[in-house]
Structure 1
Amino acid sequence: MPRLPRRALFLPVPWLILSLPALPAHAAQNDHQVWGVVQGTVDLGGRVTSAFDVQYRVTDGASRQGQVLIRPAIGVYLNKTTAAYLGYAFVTTDPLGGTPTDEHRVFEQLTFRIAGDGKGPTLTARTRLEQRFVEGWTGHTGWRLRQQVRGTLPLGDRGVALVSTLEPFVSFNTTGWGQRAGFDQVRAFAGVSLPVARGIAIEPGYMGQYIARYRQPDRMNHVISLSLSLRR
């Protein structure tokens, strides 16, 4: 595994700093949100592992519940730094002034290390292919690809680390319920990972989420994110 120079670790951060301030100029709608996340991985013995995340998203000026997501997955280690997963997600969305929806997703996912040793500066990736089904729209399956790159930079020897991620979304097809083929959105995050117990960490930070919308103004969400991460 190649060693990762510290100066190269946070390649997502320059994109975050340089691109996000300019995006609101192109987005006619801006929102401030708070996302709470509980996520984790649990090894089940041998090469088998599992992962999950539960998210509660407060939207519209952080004034109301906008979305809840529950996403479990089962996986297998292909080697020490690579795992393949099959998962399911349930997403309920209640947009202000819009129609509430319940969405079911099946997804295939590959996580792998790009550079670093997992103890020092490290760069990892997550590739996820989603099949999206919205209730009331039989036969309108949306196919979407998400590619996340994550950098971690340890600060000292107590487990504290700077964290950044960059994740573009691309839709492969157009559906009757609203997905449009092409660029869907991009998320950029910068924060810090703080260990609170063995295998448990909290990860507060800021995320910018730019969403391309059809026949509506694009949207820029400014998100205060707080994650609780578990590893067993």
Structure 2
Amino acid sequence: MRALSFLCAACAALCAAPAAASEEDFNVWTGQFIFFNLDEDKKWYARLEAQERFTDDADRLGQLLLRSFVGYRISDAVNVGGGYAYILTDPVGPVEVNEHRIYQELNVTLFDNGNGVRLTSRNRLEQRFYEESDATGWRYRNLVQFIAPISEHNSIVLYTEPFIGLNDVPFNRDGVANWRNFAGVSFPISSEFSFTPGYLNQYVVRDGEDRIDHIVNLAVFGRF
């Protein structure tokens, strides 16, 4: 419970701290995530995902993300793997950014009481390549997520995730570049699919005025 208290306090602090930022935007993000095993022993698995991010008061598709991942389960609590992602960013204005990303993940279950209460950590190291630049950006992300049942079928989902640049090149800021905090509820759709709507707060650090994104986040998960 101490870990949960820390996670909730961090989310509250991050949502309240950026009050001085003058630019805010309303977004709607949708995501589709598919998990499936690659062998009979269920040691190897794959994850495929697509995310559509409607920005500028949710008026246009500002970003499209396609990501793939192959992982290996070392134990019930630890798995590792790597993958590739393509991200098209199309902000208002003439600049369109085509990003290719290679990344490695270490996923750890920090706590599991066997009755649906879980605390997990996803550690992701990214190498970011841009068609518009010769530089390579290095970034570390740590998503800490808490899940707990709130009814017979539904669970609350909370997470916090800082994005930390490890070098300073075009399109990749050194240090904390942005921070996401999420609160939502998971609903089962069928034995294979679930739906998790919620609120995502994103604080973006910029050279000028920082930005806060208020996001309706709608995610569908399929597990086979």
1:126-174 deviation line (CA, Å, top 9, x unaligned): 0000000010312x0000000000000112332x100000000100101
Runs (4+) of structure 1 exceeding 4 A deviation are: none
Aligned to 1:39: 33
| 1:229 maps onto 2:207 in alignment | no
| 1:15 maps onto 2:10 in alignment | yes
Q: Quote the Cα distance in structure 2 between the aligned partners of 1:168 and 1:198.
A: 32
Q: Quote the Cα distance in structure 2 between the aligned partners of 1:118 and 1:66.
A: 40
Contact 2:98–2:132, Cα closer than 8 Å, also in 1: no
| 1:161 maps onto 2:155 in alignment | yes
SS at match of 1:142: strand
Contact 1:90–1:102, Cα closer than 8 Å, also in 2: yes
| 1:76 maps onto 2:72 in alignment | yes
Structure 2 residue identity aligned to 1:95:
P
Q: Quote the Cα distance in structure 2 between the aligned partners of 1:210 and 1:174.
A: 19
| 1:97 maps onto 2:93 in alignment | yes
Report how far residue 8 of structure 1 moved.
4.9
Aligned residues: 222
Contact 2:111–2:118, Cα closer than 8 Å, also in 1: yes
Contact 1:41–1:230, Cα closer than 8 Å, also in 2: yes
| 1:145 maps onto 2:140 in alignment | yes
Identity %: 34
1:195-219 deviation line (CA, Å, top 9, x unaligned): 01002100000000001112x2111
Structure 1 residue identity aligned to 2:205:
A
Report how far residue 81 of structure 1 moved.
1.9
Name whichever of 48-57 and 10-19 sits farther off.
Answer: 10-19
| 2:45 equivalent among 46, 49, 72 | 49
Q: Quote the Cα distance in structure 1 between the aligned partners of 2:27 and 2:186.
A: 20
SS at match of 1:13: helix
Normalization by structure 2: what TM-score? 0.94
| 1:219 equivalent among 208, 211, 214 | 211
Unmatched 5+ stretches in structure 2: none
Q: Quote the Cα distance in structure 1 between the aligned partners of 2:175 and 2:13.
A: 23
Aligned to 1:133: 129
